[in-house]
Amino acid sequence: MNSASVLRGVSKRICGLLILPMFLTVSQATAEAVEINQLILPESPSPWDSEAAAELGLYYKKINGKDLQIYHYGDTGCPAENGIYIGDAALKKGLVPEAEAKKIKPGGYFLYSNQANLGIYGPESAGVLYGACGLLNECGVKIYGEDCETVPEKLDFPAGIRKVVNPAFRYRPLEPGFFTWRAYYRDMKPVRLGFTAQFTESKKVGEVFFPLWLSRSSGFGESGHTMQYIIPQAKYLKTHPEYFSHDVDGKLTKSPQGHLCLTNPDVARIIKSTVENWVDKAPYSSFFFVSQPDMDGWCQCPNCRALDPFPGKKADATRWTNLSDRILHCVNFVAKAVAEKHPDKIIIAAAYRSTAEAPLREIPEKNIRISLSLSAEGGNPCQSHFDCPRNQEFMKIFEGWNKKAPGQIYLWCYCTNFENRYSPFFPNDAMVERLRFFHKNNVDGVFYNGIPRLFPQLFCFVQGKLLWDPGLDAQKLEDEFLKNFYGPAAPEMKNLLTLIRSRINDKHDPVHQGEYAGFDPIIEPVYLSSALKIFERAESDVKDKPVYLRRVKYEKLPAFLLPALDSRFFPDDNQRLDALRQLVETVQDWKIRRIKVSDGAQAAAWLQSKTGWLS
């Protein structure tokens, strides 16, 4: 039955500390609700079981005003009815039919309810936690972004649910970037939107393993580029220089990135034993990066070069070519060892810069996934148009990998402008097309390295939905978000999106935005004049609604204020000073710790160059 039919009356919108009434259009109540009073966990719950229970308890208390009783399966005194059974407890209760269980893929879940109880089952990774979020969504809880969600007046759990839900993309980590947005999108917040579960800083558990969880001496908190931290120069360089890269004359390269000699047998042994230890110590993680350091510095000793199909060949001054055979020779050795004991764990290798091209000799082991960088060959592809000719080189690289290892490719996507982060960078539409294309071509993983600073929460909302179902209507999702997030200013925010799209898709002069664009090509006087008028109307529409007004003012920062100052759009000092005042107010309000301007200059130098002040 339609689970929306159990929603009744008026919903409440939670926007920070402000509660705004909003009427929802719902169908008539035709399904009975299951009365729920308790949660039943397995006898030995996993961290994912516990997080699922915490999430359900949080919203039950928030909406219904009381706590759910917590039991473990088999506890004396646990009522036989009116409970949500989580994980293996649902299986033992008989709430997971065998036919449905067989349909659940890794990262997926099963929801089932009858007149007495409800079950959530996700047998692999964090599936049960995703199931808890899916159940709340079935009950009318809608998450849009920071301090913005709609909830029903009463949290009723519908009877008659029998649903298997599998993600279109199993691997969906979100690394929003730096400072403000990194602080917001952590722990449960990305999970509620549809991204991979990572409790990296608070609880040191996540689907993607972080070496820092086991040893702070690794000096490394991220998941990619792990080899230099498995064998750090600080620990081994003096005593074992043979572990590190050497040039063609046999001299130690002393690469600042810590590149290794991958044919040294001790290096391979240390990497293998370290990764095996990671897997043993992090049983609830599914993905483990074993990938080379960033940038150049590769070993050129005879043994390493013998693994290369074209020894010594360079694409340009910054990168070698076809070193993927070399890296896979090492990673395959590690993956085979891991698979003997943990066949369900995924080892991730990077196809990036010198390892961009598909291997000619090596074939990735079945438990390896190739994280293919969108800028694999080191270029600056177009992020505005999926089918742009500037992306043809990447598509050739993807086709090569997909032939070599079909079904084993993940994407590493750059969704921000690293050179000028608070510019009107808009990869949203291209990313929608990208997800749909690669889903059809057997890709089931996407890593988000950065998010745009313009409409960041809209981007995450739409992407999070499409990662589970790329067939959803992205425009309907966008309109739903705008209505709920900006309130009366939604029509003007839609006008801003229309303006941006008209510039990007101009038939005579289309805009090609890249992740390293110092000055964004979308910025020109006609765009800025139109954007200014849109924000004047939008701010007027919500002048008495501080929550919505705050959100509109944030979008004004990357969409207009910084571009206008950066391009000397204002003709006189008074206008420039007012724009700078608004910029400072927004930066302080949103606790933005740093803004990297177009030319990388320090703030004082930038102000002087753009305004003439301080001279």
- Residue 501 pLDDT exceeds 50: yes
Q: Which helix (H) or strand (E) holds 214?
A: none
Distance between CA 224 and CA 201 in Å, rounded?
16
Query: How large a percentage of the chain has pLDDT more than 70?
Result: 89
Closest by CA to 50, choosing from 221, 199, 200, 214, is 199
Q: What is the DSSP letter of 360?
A: S
- Residue 20 pLDDT exceeds 70: no
Mean pLDDT to the nearest integer, 555-561: 96
Query: How large a percentage of the chain has pLDDT more than 90?
Result: 72
Distance between CA 421 and CA 177 in Å, rounded?
10
Give the confidence band of 78 by pLDDT, cuts at 50, 70, 90: very high
At 332, list the tokens. Answer: 């395959």
pLDDT of residue 18: 36
Q: Which helix (H) or strand (E) holds 350?
A: strand 346-351
pLDDT of residue 178: 65
Q: pTM for the full model?
A: 0.92
The answer to whether the beta carbons of residues 93 and 85 sit under 8 Å apart is: yes
Whole-number average pLDDT of the chain: 88
Q: Is the dihedral of CA 178, 184, 188, 194 positive or negative?
A: negative
The answer to whether the beta carbons of residues 464 and 476 sit under 8 Å apart is: no
- Residue 510 pLDDT exceeds 50: yes
Higher pLDDT, 564 or 124: 564
- Residue 56 pLDDT exceeds 50: yes
Distance of CA 122 to the CA centre of its chain: 21
Higher pLDDT, 429 or 183: 429
pLDDT of residue 179: 62
Residue 191: strand, helix, or coil = helix
Query: Hunting for tokens 């689907």 — which residue is that?
Result: 207
Torsion of the alpha carbons at 33, 37, 42 and 44, rounded to the nearest 10: 150
pLDDT of residue 293: 87
Tens digits of per-residue pLDDT, 338-360? 999 999 999 999 999 899 999 99
Q: How many residues does the chain have?
A: 615
pLDDT of residue 609: 63
Torsion of the alpha carbons at 55, 61, 67 and 73, rounded to the nearest 10: -20
Beta carbons within 10 angstroms of residue 473's beta carbon = 11
Q: What is the arrangement of strands in the sheet containing 446-449, beginning at the earlier edge strand?
A: 174-175, 446-449, 409-414, 368-373, 346-351, 287-289
Tens digits of per-residue pLDDT, 278-287? 999 999 999 9
pLDDT of residue 172: 97
**DSSP assignment of 509-551:** S-----TT-SS-TT--HHHHHHHHHHHHHHHHHTTT-HHHHHH
pLDDT of residue 385: 94
Distance between CA 484 and CA 498 in Å, rounded?
18
Tens digits of per-residue pLDDT, 112-171? 999 999 999 999 889 999 999 999 999 999 999 988 999 999 999 999 999 999 999 999
Distance between CA 138 and CA 118 in Å, rounded?
13
Mean pLDDT to the nearest integer, 87-108: 95
Range in 78-92, 371-385, 481-495, 516-530 the model is least confident about: 371-385
DSSP helix, strand, coil percent of the chain (3-state; round to 5): 40, 15, 45
- Residue 601 pLDDT exceeds 70: no
pLDDT of residue 9: 33
Give the confidence band of 607 by pLDDT, cuts at 50, 70, 90: low
- Strand-strand pairing, 446-449 and 346-351: unpaired
Range in 72-86, 157-171, 191-205 the model is least confident about: 191-205
pLDDT of residue 484: 98
H-state helical runs in 407-455? 428-440
Mean pLDDT to the nearest integer, 468-488: 98
Mean pLDDT to the nearest integer, 498-522: 91
Higher pLDDT, 465 or 3: 465
Give the confidence band of 604 by pLDDT, cuts at 50, 70, 90: low
Range in 11-15, 191-195, 253-257, 521-525 the model is least confident about: 11-15
Find all residues with CB under 8 Å of 241, minimum gap 6, and list them.
Answer: 252
Q: For residue 455, which amino acid is it?
A: F
pLDDT of residue 538: 98
**CB-based burial of residue 312 (10 Å sphere; 0-12 exposed, 13-18 middle, 19+ buried)?**
exposed
Distance between CA 8 and CA 334 in Å, rounded?
55
Give the confidence band of 2 by pLDDT, cuts at 50, 70, 90: very low
Give the confidence band of 519 by pLDDT, cuts at 50, 70, 90: confident
CATH topology (fold) of 3-165 = Chitobiase; domain 2 (3.30.379)
The answer to whether the beta carbons of residues 430 and 437 sit under 8 Å apart is: no
Range in 52-56, 77-81, 505-509, 610-614 the model is least confident about: 610-614
Beta carbons within 10 angstroms of residue 185's beta carbon = 23
Which ranges in the chain are annotated with CATH 3.30.379.10? 3-165
Q: For residue 181, which amino acid is it?
A: W
Terminal-residue alpha carbon distance, the chain: 70
Q: For residue 37, which amino acid is it?
A: N
pLDDT of residue 99: 93
pLDDT of residue 608: 60
- Residue 13 pLDDT exceeds 50: no
Tens digits of per-residue pLDDT, 207-250? 999 887 776 554 444 568 899 889 999 899 999 999 999 999 99
Interior/surface letters 139-165, b for 16+ CB within 10 angstroms, e for the rest? bbbbbbbbebbbbbbbbbbbbbbeebb
Distance of CA 235 to the CA centre of its chain: 33
**DSSP assignment of 280-333:** HH-TT--EEE--PPSSS----SHHHHTTSSSTT-EEETTEES--HHHHHHHHHH
Give the confidence band of 59 by pLDDT, cuts at 50, 70, 90: very high
Give the confidence band of 379 by pLDDT, cuts at 50, 70, 90: low
Give the confidence band of 603 by pLDDT, cuts at 50, 70, 90: low
pLDDT of residue 573: 84
